[in-house]
């Protein structure tokens, strides 16, 4: 199974920048999108069907905001919308799909960049999501948790860790949450294969940050420990440009 996670920062906008043409190159079997900022009925989803993808959507109630979707060439056995927490579900942040013994969770973590209120909610969401994952693992031990986490974990994951030490997305409490996740038995699949620096998945639109590769690695595909032996390959596709993020890739072998 080839999996991609991609924050498209508005799917309709990405489609005007070549997203559909990119899909035609068969980049992955399952493509998890965040921040689609659209409902299915106002996107030309037939373009995806013609390429061979079935689409599943969990948009935010607020128009033009947040939302997640899954495009897949492999039919899931089960799809669940939301994680049972009212505000998270209203904001369209979590969608789950089961493929055989593997459960894929596509999540768009909140950002705290707009102020204290959202940063406080981000911490609440992180606590709720951690509990959701730990409970789900009891029945479905093979989890793949993909998405825009809006957290850079370590100094290697951000272009200037010193100047960003007080920035949302690199705060000590956020980074500690990711450490707790990995300590609980999750694997950072990109770092499993790639220890090298300067590997980022998001860049500010300001000051030619992408051209200068001054970015953050905030998009992840993390798996539970039982799947470590099935990891085949991982990559960040910085050359793919339909958004301020780029796709992150994982190849997972069958059992």
2 by Cβ neighbours in 10 Å (0-12 / 13-18 / 19+) ranks as middle
List, for residues 114-167, the tens digit of each pLDDT value. 999 999 999 999 999 999 999 999 999 999 999 999 999 999 999 999 999 999
DSSP string of 143-183?
EEEEEE-----SGGGBS-TTTTTTSTTS-HHHHHHHHHHHH
Q: How many CB atoms lie within 10 A of CB 253?
A: 11
Q: Which of 26, 44, 55, 148 is catalytic?
A: 148
Q: Across all residues in the chain, what is the average pLDDT?
A: 97
The number of folded domains in the chain is 1
List, for residues 199-225, the tens digit of each pLDDT value. 999 999 999 999 999 999 999 999 999
pLDDT given for residue 254 in this prediction: 86
Distance between CA atoms of 14 and 22, rounded to whole angstroms?
A: 10
Does residue 89 have an active-site annotation?
no
Q: Residue 211 is part of which domain span? A: 2-252
List, for residues 108-118, the tens digit of each pLDDT value. 999 999 999 99
pLDDT at 255 over 80: no
Q: What is the pTM of this model?
A: 0.98
What is the β-pairing status of strands 248-252 and 102-108?
A: unpaired
Contact between residue 169 and residue 150 where contact means Cβ atoms under 8 Å apart: yes
Burial string for 102-141 (b: 16+ CB within 10 Å, else e) reads bbbbbbbbbbbeeeeeebebbeebbebbeebbeebbeebe
For helices 116-139 and 172-183, the axis angle rounded to 10 degrees is 0
pLDDT given for residue 191 in this prediction: 98
CATH number at residue 209: 3.60.10.10
Contact between residue 91 and residue 129 where contact means Cβ atoms under 8 Å apart: no
Distance between CA atoms of 230 and 222, rounded to whole angstroms?
A: 13
């Amino acid at each position: 199974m080839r999996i991609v996670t991609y924050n498209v920062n508005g799917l309709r906008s990405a489609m005007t920048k070549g997203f559909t043409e990119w899909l035609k190159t068969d980049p992955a079997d399952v493509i998890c999108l965040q921040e689609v900022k659209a409902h299915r009925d106002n996107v030309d989803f037939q373009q995806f069907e013609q390429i061979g993808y079935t689409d599943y959507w969990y948009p935010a109630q607020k128009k033009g905001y947040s939302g997640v979707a899954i495009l897949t060439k492999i039919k899931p056995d089960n799809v669940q919308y939301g994680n049972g927490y009212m505000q998270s579900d209203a904001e369209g942040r979590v969608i789950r799909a089961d493929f055989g013994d593997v459960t894929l969770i596509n999540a768009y973590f909140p950002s705290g960049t707009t102020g204290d209120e959202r940063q406080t909610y981000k911490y609440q969401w992180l606590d709720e999501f951690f509990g959701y994952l730990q409970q789900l693992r009891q029945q479905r031990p093979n989890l793949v948790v993909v998405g825009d986490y809006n957290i850079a974990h370590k100094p290697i994951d951000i272009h200037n860790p010193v100047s960003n030490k007080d920035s949302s997305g690199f705060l000590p409490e956020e980074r500690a949450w990711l450490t707790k996740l990995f300590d609980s038995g999750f694997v950072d699949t990109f770092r499993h294969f790639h220890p090298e620096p300067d590997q980022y998945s998001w860049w500010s639109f300001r000051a030619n940050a992408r051209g200068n590769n001054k970015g953050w690695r905030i998009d992840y595909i993390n798996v539970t420990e039982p799947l470590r032996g099935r990891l085949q390959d991982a990559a960040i596709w910085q050359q793919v440009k339909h958004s301020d993020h780029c796709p992150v890739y994982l190849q997972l072998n069958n059992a």
